[in-house]
Structure 1
Amino acid sequence: MKIMCDTNVIIDVLLEQEPFVDDSCKILNLCEEHRMDGFVSASSVTDIFYLVRKYTHSTELAYTAVGKLLEIVKVCSVTNNDVLTAFQKKAKDFEDCLVATCAKSIRCNYIITRNKKDFEEFDVPILTPSELLQQLS
């Protein structure tokens, strides 16, 4: 199974955001154990680095966190075609549209996010971390 992890799922783990951290951490553990292929978009990596640095006030911690993340998930390249496809959709949230476009281009089974409504307008199956865990049990 291939999943695209939305930025909020990763941030929940890295910043230990309650009450979401447990389920999101379980998802990343499944990826680390190679029980599923986890992806993040290339654009999400920069957002994750920025947010970790902003909330921890530490560039070193941001590099450490992103380094660990890159050991667990793969980065989905954002191609010129992905950007053009997302741009042409004129979605309310361009960044989410780009994540959905990337997920479709690599044939992910699901986008995993806490904000399902952000992805409803795109033709990609969406689950929250807890929904994916329930589906797997």
Structure 2
Amino acid sequence: MKVFLDANILVSVLNKEFPLFNHTARILSLAGQSHFHFYTSPICLAIAFYFASKKVSESKAKEKIFLLCKHVSIADADQRGVEKALSNKKINDLEDGFEYYAAERVDCSVILTENKEDFYFSEIEVLNSSEFIANKI
């Protein structure tokens, strides 16, 4: 199963934000199993880096992102995806549109986010971390 990780999932893991961390860390621990393949985008990594660097130093935040990238693949936000996001009249927040089309490009079957309402336009299944644990593990 290919799962796209939204920035808020990454932030919760990098910053150990409780109580969400209990779910998100458990989910990311599945990265080594062949049944799950996790993706994120450069935009999500940049957002996660920003919030991690506010909690720890920039160098420590880079180390955390580097470690994370060993377990998560990067879904590119290419020109076609950007154009789709810009032309989709249902999408109000371009960041979410870019993330959505990055997930679509690599055939993710789930978008994992704590802000499900951000992906109201999604044709890909959208779950929060507790729903993912209950329904997919």
Same fold by TM (over 0.5)? yes
5+ residue gaps, structure 2, are none
Structure 1 residue 122, shift from structure 2 partner: 2.2
2:64 corresponding residue in structure 1: 65
What is the Cα deviation at residue 24 of structure 1?
0.4
Aligned residue pair count: 136
Unaligned runs of 5+ in 1: none
- The two structures, once aligned, show a CA RMSD in angstroms of 1.3
Corresponding residue SS for 1:39: strand
**Paired-residue identity, %:** 26
Instruction: Give the alignment's TM-score, normalised by structure 1.
Output: 0.93
| Preserved contact between residue 32 and residue 73 of structure 1 (Cα < 8 Å) | no
Matches of 1:18 and 1:26 in 2, distance apart? 13
Q: CA deviation at 1:40?
A: 0.4
Runs of 4+ in 1 over 2 A off after TM superposition: 32-35
Write the deviation string for residues 28-62 of structure 1: whole angstroms up to 9, x where unpaired. 10113343000001221111112211232x11111
Partner of 1:102: 102
Does the 8 A contact of 2:3 with 2:38 survive in 1? yes
Q: SS state of the match for residue 111, structure 1? A: strand
CA distance in 2, matches of 1:14, 1:32: 18
User: How far off is 1:116 after superposition?
Assistant: 0.6
1:73 and 1:50 mapped to 2: Cα distance? 18
CA deviation profile, 1:63-114 (whole Å, cap 9, x unmatched): 1110111011001111111111111124221101111111111110100011
> What does residue 123 of structure 2 align with?
123
For normalisation by structure 2, the TM-score amounts to 0.93
